A and B are shown apart, each in its own frame.
Chain A
């Protein structure tokens, strides 16, 4: 079902490694030109992401602007060794959406003295992260569509797994097993590389 992209449209899209370089540059130099490239790539996606929940183009545009402003202000906190730019941008957008709906979702604090650090260091190069992003993207596209649907509903439509079951008229156990199967497969894809 995935249509092959034309080389021309593909060439316009920055690679995960290029995106990481751009965001690191923004964090270090407050470089507006580098940010514009990120903005052109992410802004339409974030607006579409926000529109899935708000169903209102104007509100979605506002939340997108807010997200991109947060990406700009927090850019120095992005650590390319810990994940991709897209994963990081997703978390920024998610937190803006949580605030917009006046919800609270507390987070752990890596500076906390009770925090238990990982004894295995994260992947140490941008190259490895880019590779991982690639693997994840490929593994995602091989998931059965029913598993992809559950993930999309959870991440984009802002629906908890119990409500997904209701909405799709499925037993809760079925939704749970789709989630487990999907992440088991994604994890295997990532572990195979190591």
Chain B
């Protein structure tokens, strides 16, 4: 498997800088788990950030910052809780079967694909809404029946779609596991799941704002959009 459709440079930069909101970040981090090429780009960006950090020239002196730090370090050393060995590296039990949903997505959903509780969307499609603390986005898993188009496909704002199993076609492009499609309002597209297998993908979209969508619905017939 080789990922062919990647994260755009500017979204990856927002992620590297830590300014990308939670909803989009779930898609970016899940793609990164499946794509060594984008992880290399991310490292290069972090390398550039490090080089820029080196170049910050500072005129003011350290003051008593170092002494304050040493005091904290001593307090920390005597604090039994802090002295406990870190469990930052999670061990994976040997023989763990490979998973379909990568982290961090799997933790958000609470299980891998076989434990999911899908909700019917109509016309054979299913979805699961993924709750986040980010009100600006809507995050969902979609299951599109083989050979059928992605349902409910109106486009307002940015949309990220990450294929997790099966594949879809959009025009003459094929999107398979790990591939990411980035779309915005000026892109008219009709993704269709490939024949033979249902397509499961992660879709992140801008949260529909009730007020704007009401206005859009009002003016849509007038503008014929």
Contact = CB atoms under 8 A, between A and B. Distances in A.
A187 B25 contact: no
Contact of B58 (A44, A120, A154, A180): A44
A140 B45 CA distance: 11
B216 interface: no
A151 interface: yes
B91 A161 contact: no
Contact of A40 (B20, B66, B99): B66
Given A105-B25, A109-B104, A111-B90, A161 B10 contact: yes
B46 interface: yes
A156 B88 contact: no
Interface string B14-41: 1111111110011001101111100111
B99 A112 contact: yes
> Which has the most chain A C-beta neighbours within 10 Å: B50, B61, B86, B102?
B50
A47 to B, nearest CB: 8
Contact of B39 (A44, A95, A118): A118
Contacts of B41: 183, 187
Nearest to B32: A108
Contacts of A160: 14, 17, 19-20
A34 interface: no
Interface in B64-118: 65-66, 68-70, 72-73, 76, 86, 88-92, 96-104, 106, 108
Interface string A70-108: 001110010000111111111101110110000111111
> Which has the most chain B C-beta neighbours within 10 Å: A85, A91, A158?
A91
Interface string B44-64: 111111111111101011100
Contacts of B56: 45, 48-49
A114 B45 contact: no
Contacts of A74: 86, 88
A132 interface: yes
Contacts of A105: 15, 18, 20, 22, 25, 29
A114 B33 contact: yes
B133 interface: yes
A175 interface: yes
Contacts of A36: 66
> Which has the most chain B C-beta neighbours within 10 Å: A88, A109, A159, A186?
A109
A170 interface: no
Contacts of B190: none
Nearest to B70: A32
Contacts of B101: 114
A173 to B, nearest CB: 10
Contact of B73 (A32, A83, A106, A108): A32
A179 B62 contact: no
Given A68-B69, A108-B32, A111-B89, A90 B9 contact: no
Given A109-B104, A190-B44, A183 B96 contact: no
Nearest to B3: A116
Interface of B: 1, 8-10, 13-22, 25-26, 29-30, 32-36, 39-41, 43-56, 58, 60-62, 65-66, 68-70, 72-73, 76, 86, 88-92, 96-104, 106, 108, 132-134, 178
Interface of A: 32, 36, 39-40, 42-49, 61, 64-65, 68-69, 72-74, 77, 82-91, 93-95, 97-98, 103-109, 111-120, 132-133, 136-137, 140, 151-152, 154-156, 158-161, 175-176, 179-180, 183, 186-187, 190
